[in-house]
Amino acid sequence: MLEELKKTTERRELKLVLANPGAEVMKKLNKSKFLENIGQEWIYLTVGEAVEACNYKLHTCKPEESQPWNNV
């Protein structure tokens, strides 16, 4: 399901970000290699941290850079 969600977000030029995953969820994501797919830099301990990081990346990205997360 997460693989399909990631594909859908990428098609829409969005970035999939995980916030507040529990220990068991992290174990399963790691075991399934999905953490490697999404990237550790897109996983945050709290929703607030995720929002702050995405907001920062959105506003510090140069307009000529084409990043999936700059179209939010």
This model's pTM is above 0.75? no
In degrees to the nearest 10, what's the CA dihedral of 18, 58, 68, 14? 50
pLDDT at site 7: 92
5 DSSP assignment: H
Domain ranges of the chain: 1-6+15-60
Task: Report CA Rg, the chain.
Answer: 13
pLDDT at site 72: 47
| d(C-alpha 34, C-alpha 24), whole Å | 14
Which residue positions in the chain have pLDDT lower than 50? Answer: 72
Token pair 């068991």 is found at 24
Q: CA 32, 38, 40: angle at the middle one, nearest 5?
A: 95
